[in-house]
Amino acid sequence: MKTENIPYKIYLNEDEMPKAWYNLRADMKNKPAPLLNPATHKPMTAEELAPVFCDDLVAQELDDKTAYFPIPEEIFNFYKMFRPSPLVRAYCLEEKLKTPAKIYYKFEGNNTSGSHKLNSAIAQAYYAKKQGLKGVTTETGAGQWGTALSMACSYFGLDCKVYMVKVSYEQKPFRREVMRTYGANVTPSPSETTNIGKKILAEHPGTTGSLGCAISEAVEVATTTPGYRYVLGSVLNQVLLHQSIIGLETEAALKKYNIKPDIIIGCAGGGSNLGGLIAPFMRDKIKGLADYRIIAVEPASCPSLTRGTYAYDFCDTGMVCPLAKMYTLGSGYIPAPNHAGGLRYHGMSSTLSQLYDDKLMEAVSVPQTEVFAAAEQFARVEGILPAPESSHAIKVAIDEAIKCRETGEEKTIVFGLTGTGYFDMVAYEKFHDGKMDDYIPSDEELQKSFATLPKID
């Protein structure tokens, strides 16, 4: 086996960890479009956002000028418990694929939440505590974000109310119990505890819920309960900012061994891990200092970048949140019930949407059976059981490595391995039993969904 002089795992020392987050928007020539007030269609002001988000997070959300935000010491100390995360050279996968490509993955699954989401959860909880709040509310789908936030809230002694999509609440009891272990209050959504939940239940009795609906409930509770604010685990600029720690560490680890990537790949749900991973690389690409192929990978059953439309849309089903300009499938879009691999949000971070529209980034969509096949192939040689979400990136990394085998090119591929899949075994079971299929929405279905987009002039 080729091993070169690069270790299997490149770790940074604590003193080599990034001390500031990087805000890519500061260096973008075309800035992402601002959030709009859903009633007036005017850009949201800090005053309008203040009842929803913590003050410091509002400032981060609206700031497209400041490039670096120092990481507060309390957050940095928490990071040190599970960071830096390793950048792993996939020697075994390369050998298995017989590819001349060099493959690296940044592994974010080494913490109890099992994913990169803790990077932003701890930051958001910190700012809530700093403001003297009592607690925060949020939504969670399969539960990764809710778990990360519960951990962060228990660390800072904050109350945490989680609205969990009902189908997951019922079918995924393990993550729910992890959240309760960390002291969170978990409610299946839609619920009778909010006006919007009651309305949705009246209109769609028996609904199993959606992320967009859980967001509406969590926002309603935050804005009507004194001492509470709402927090979100993806999509927002502030979340991409916190997740830049992934890319900055990757950049530092690569520099240590003088490695220059050719292709950078990440899975994209709301866009936070990808936005974080690519941040410093995209900075250099925008400044003309380097050139990389950057690839977003999404599920064929929820293809917001590859088949969505670039327009202002609601971030939630209840249409109470600000409007964001993004690649979207329409806020009412719900992926087919057999879709097992996460990444089911109808839209995409406005930053990534703008970069994609500017052709600085590519996107591909992949069917879920191919994603699970790639996951299994990876698990069997690299020893890590990947999350289905992360496996979207694995699938395309393998495809690119196979292309290198065919052309003989020794490309360097870096991808984000966002988390572990221990709580996704029902999905793996479906795959193993041949009960998983690849439902892909028709153009007609998507057109119907686009018709519900708000009209903005």
Chain residues binding ligand PLP by CB under 6 A are 115, 117, 144, 234, 267-273, 342-343, 387, 389-390, 418-419
User: Least CB distance from residue 9 to ligand PLP, whole Å?
Assistant: 19
User: Least CB distance from residue 240 to ligand PLP, whole Å?
Assistant: 9
Closest to ligand PLP by CB, 48 vs 376, is 376
User: Least CB distance from residue 177 to ligand PLP, whole Å?
Assistant: 17
User: Least CB distance from residue 297 to ligand PLP, whole Å?
Assistant: 10
- Both tokens of residue 254? 């690569």
Half-sphere exposure of residue 263: CA atoms within 13 angstroms, side-chain side: 27
User: Least CB distance from residue 148 to ligand PLP, whole Å?
Assistant: 8
- Residue with nearest beta carbon to ligand PLP: 419
Closest to ligand PLP by CB, 133 vs 360, is 360
User: Least CB distance from residue 360 to ligand PLP, whole Å?
Assistant: 18
Closest to ligand PLP by CB, 49 vs 387, is 387
Closest to ligand PLP by CB, 116 vs 129, is 116
Distance, in Å, from the CA atom of 372 to the CA atom of 376, rounded to the nearest integer, reads 6
Closest to ligand PLP by CB, 102 vs 117, is 117
**What does the H/E/C string look like for the chain?**
CCCCCCCCEECCCHHHCCCEEECHHHHCCCCCCCCECCCCCCECCHHHHCCCCCHHHHHHHHCCCCCEEECCHHHHHHHHHHCCCCEEECHHHHHHHCCCCEEEEEECCCCCCCECCHHHHHHHHHHHHHCCCCEEEEEECCCHHHHHHHHHHHHHCCEEEEEEEHHHHHHCHHHHHHHHHCCCEEEEECCCCCHHHHHHHHHCCCCCCCHHHHHHHHHHHHHHCCCEEECCCCCCHHHHHHHHHHHHHHHHHHHHCCCCCCEEEEECCCCHHHHHHHHHHHHHHHCCCCCCEEEEEEECCCCHHHHCEEEEEECCCCCCCCEEEEEECCCCCCCCCCCCCCCCCCCCCHHHHHHHHCCCCEEEEECHHHHHHHHHHHHHHHCCCECHHHHHHHHHHHHHHHHHHHHCCCCEEEEEECEECHHHHHHHHHHHCCCCCCCCCCHHHHHHHHCCCCCCC
Closest to ligand PLP by CB, 117 vs 129, is 117
Q: Are 273 and 267 in contact (CB under 8 A)?
A: yes
- Both tokens of residue 30? 């075309």
Closest to ligand PLP by CB, 217 vs 389, is 389
Closest to ligand PLP by CB, 18 vs 416, is 416
Q: Are 61 and 49 in contact (CB under 8 A)?
A: yes
User: Least CB distance from residue 45 to ligand PLP, whole Å?
Assistant: 26
User: Least CB distance from residue 406 to ligand PLP, whole Å?
Assistant: 29
User: Least CB distance from residue 154 to ligand PLP, whole Å?
Assistant: 19
- Measure the CA dihedral 209/320/176/274, to 10°: 100
The residues pairing with 139 across neighbouring beta strands, listed in sequence order, are 163
User: Least CB distance from residue 5 to ligand PLP, whole Å?
Assistant: 31
Q: Are 305 and 298 in contact (CB under 8 A)?
A: yes
DSSP strand pairing (9-10 vs 87-89): antiparallel
User: Least CB distance from residue 2 to ligand PLP, whole Å?
Assistant: 29
Closest to ligand PLP by CB, 108 vs 220, is 108
Closest to ligand PLP by CB, 166 vs 242, is 242
Closest to ligand PLP by CB, 133 vs 326, is 326
Closest to ligand PLP by CB, 190 vs 299, is 299
User: Least CB distance from residue 200 to ligand PLP, whole Å?
Assistant: 23
Measured at the alpha carbon of residue 289, what is the angle toward residues 283 and 295, in degrees to the nearest 5?
A: 55
